[in-house]
């Protein structure tokens, strides 16, 4: 098969790679696969869990071409868990100590023509839903999970909450769309890139602003940090009301920015979130299929063969779309 192989810092090679060996798992012909912030991070050489050479990419949808379910179109939950440990049995499978994600050894990723993954990780796509939209299930499920956990932590219904989402990429926009589905009272989105901000403003009932130019709202019930740098954690700490909730999804840098003094004196709840449970993923896919998350027309599709250029353009800020999908 052809694959886009990460060969070292800032280098990707579109070349022949061995076909996956599916064993008893379905073999999928990938139709669309998104570029994630974590792929960018690995490509830049900043993720020692992803050593070269490696096929990156974990946001895939396509068609089963061999094995169980052949012929079905599916979207892929890339998180493979054991199903037996305490976390898995408690429905918190994203915290499984044996969790694996495709694009991290021992599992190759989806920037390739073919992908093998257990059948239980697949959600069938109904007729009439394009694979471009189904491939957004993975990034949006991260926001779905964060909003679900936030609802447990807020002392008022999400529908009455004033919310601030920091970052208008697919994770932030996805979280904002889930908040909109719950009819949150106010949804503000901070995004510095003007072209992307305009796309976000059209994607749902959002008040967008440029955090470099404007202060934005203050005293909000819920902040979702979909960026995760020191500056955004500092902004989240300042913007949340006493007794409010910060959900931390983005992991741009590992430390700094949280105002522990304010967290303590104002009883602010800060929760880190990682991916989604299998149930969150299925619910997100279902909401996409039923059109509950808007038009989902904010992605840009490029050929997998030109993936190296897409990474370079994304790094240089030349791409306004909140999500780039590659097409093998
Ligand atoms: Zn992702
Ligand atoms: Zn487990």
pLDDT of residue 193: 96
Answer for the pair 151, 269: CB distance below 8 angstroms, yes or no.
no
Backbone φ, ψ for residue 144 (5° rounding)? -55, -50
User: Confidence class of residue 53 from pLDDT cuts 50, 70 and 90?
Assistant: very high
Count of Cβ atoms closer than 10 Å to residue 158 Cβ? 20
Count of Cβ atoms closer than 10 Å to residue 133 Cβ? 23
Gap from CA of 94 to ligand 2 centroid (Å) = 8
- The rounded percent of the chain whose pLDDT value lies above 70 is 100
Nearest-5° Cα angle at 314, 12 to 277: 85
Sequence-distant (6+) residues with CB within 8 A of 89 are: none
Gap from CA of 243 to ligand 1 centroid (Å) = 30
For β-strands 2-8 and 11-16, DSSP reports them as: antiparallel
CATH (one of 3.40.640.10, 2.30.40.10, 3.30.420.10, 3.40.50.720) for 140-272: 3.40.50.720
Give residue limits of the domains in the chain: 2-136+296-327, 140-272
Instruction: Answer yes or no: pTM beyond 0.85.
Output: yes
Gap from CA of 100 to ligand 2 centroid (Å) = 10
Question: Which parts of 135-277 fold into alpha helices (H)?
Answer: 137-153, 170-181, 194-203, 230-239, 260-265
Alpha carbons 33 and 113: distance in angstroms, whole number: 10
Nearest to 240 by CA among 224, 219, 261, 225: 219
Gap from CA of 248 to ligand 1 centroid (Å) = 15
Gap from CA of 20 to ligand 1 centroid (Å) = 21
- The rounded percent of the chain whose pLDDT value lies above 90 is 99
User: Confidence class of residue 50 from pLDDT cuts 50, 70 and 90?
Assistant: very high
Gap from CA of 264 to ligand 1 centroid (Å) = 32
From the CA of 90, the nearest ligand is 2
Fold classification of 2-136+296-327 is Quinone Oxidoreductase; Chain A, domain 1 (3.90.180)
Answer for the pair 138, 249: CB distance below 8 angstroms, yes or no.
no
pLDDT of residue 244: 98
Gap from CA of 19 to ligand 1 centroid (Å) = 23
Helix axes 194-203, 170-181, angle to 10 degrees: 20
Gap from CA of 90 to ligand 2 centroid (Å) = 9
Gap from CA of 108 to ligand 2 centroid (Å) = 20
């Amino acid at each position: 098969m052809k694959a886009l192989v990460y060969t070292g810092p800032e280098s990707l090679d579109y070349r022949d790679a061995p076909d996956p060996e599916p064993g008893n798992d379905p073999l999928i012909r990938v139709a669309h696969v998104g570029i994630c912030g974590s792929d960018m991070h690995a490509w830049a050489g900043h993720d020692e869990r992803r050593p070269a050479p490696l096929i990156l990419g974990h946001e895939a949808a396509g068609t089963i071409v061999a094995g169980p379910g052949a012929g079905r179109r599916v979207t892929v939950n890339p998180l493979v868990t054991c199903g037996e440990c305490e976390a898995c049995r408690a429905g918190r499978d994203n915290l499984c100590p044996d969790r694996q994600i495709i694009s991290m050894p021992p599992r190759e990723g989806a920037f390739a023509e073919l992908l093998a993954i257990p059948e239980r990780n697949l959600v069938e796509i109904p007729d009439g839903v394009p694979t471009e939209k189904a491939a957004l299930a993975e990034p949006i499920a991260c926001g779905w999970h964060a909003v679900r956990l936030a609802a447990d932590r807020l002392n008022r219904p999400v529908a009455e909450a004033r919310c601030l989402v920091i970052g208008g990429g697919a994770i932030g926009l996805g979280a904002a769309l889930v908040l909109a589905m719950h009819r949150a009272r106010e949804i503000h989105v901070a995004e510095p890139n003007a072209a992307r901000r305009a796309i976000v403003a059209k994607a749902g009932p959002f008040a967008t602003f440029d955090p470099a130019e404007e202060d934005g709202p203050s005293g909000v019930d819920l902040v979702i940090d979909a960026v995760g740098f020191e500056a955004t954690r500092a902004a989240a700490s300042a913007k949340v009301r006493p007794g409010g909730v910060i959900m931390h999804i983005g992991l741009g840098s590992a430390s700094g920015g949280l105002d522990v003094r304010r967290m303590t004196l104002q009883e602010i709840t800060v929760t880190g979130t990682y991916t989604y449970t299998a149930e969150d993923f299925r619910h997100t896919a279902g909401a996409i299929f039923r059109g509950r998350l808007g038009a989902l027309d904010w992605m840009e599709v490029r050929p997998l063969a030109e993936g190296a250029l897409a990474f370079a353009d994304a790094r240089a800020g030349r791409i306004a779309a909140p999500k780039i999908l590659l097409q093998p």
